[in-house]
Amino acid sequence: MTDPESAAFRAEAHALAATLAGLSPDDWDQPTRCEPWTVRDVVGHLVTALGRLPHMLTQDEPDHPDTDATGYYRPDARFSLDANTDRIHTAQTEGSADDLVAAFTAAAYAVDDAYRAVTPARRVRTRHGDAMLLSAFLTTRTVEVAVHGLDITDALAQPPCLTPAGAAHLPQALLGPEWHRLGWDPVTLLRKVSGRTQVFPEEADRMAQLGAGRLAFG
pLDDT in tens, 61-103: 999 999 999 999 988 766 665 555 556 566 566 678 999 999 9
Taking all residues of the chain, what is their mean pLDDT, rounded to a whole number?
91
d(CA 204, CA 189): 12
41 contacts 29 by C-beta, under 8 angstroms:
no
Instruction: Quickly state the pLDDT bin for 2 (edges 50, 70, 90).
Output: confident
132 contacts 120 by C-beta, under 8 angstroms:
no
Q: Which CATH superfamily is domain 4-180 in?
A: dinb family like domain (1.20.120.450)
d(CA 66, CA 60): 16
What residue segments make up the domains of the chain, in order of their start? 4-180
Asked if residue 57 has pLDDT above 60, the reply is yes
pLDDT of residue 88: 56
176 φ/ψ sector (left φ>0, alpha ψ -120 to 50, else beta): left
Distance separating the N- and C-terminal Cα atoms of the chain: 33
Mean pLDDT on 143-167: 97
pTM beyond 0.75, yes or no:
yes
d(CA 187, CA 80): 27
CA distances from 43 to 22, 34, 112, 162 (A): 14, 12, 18, 16
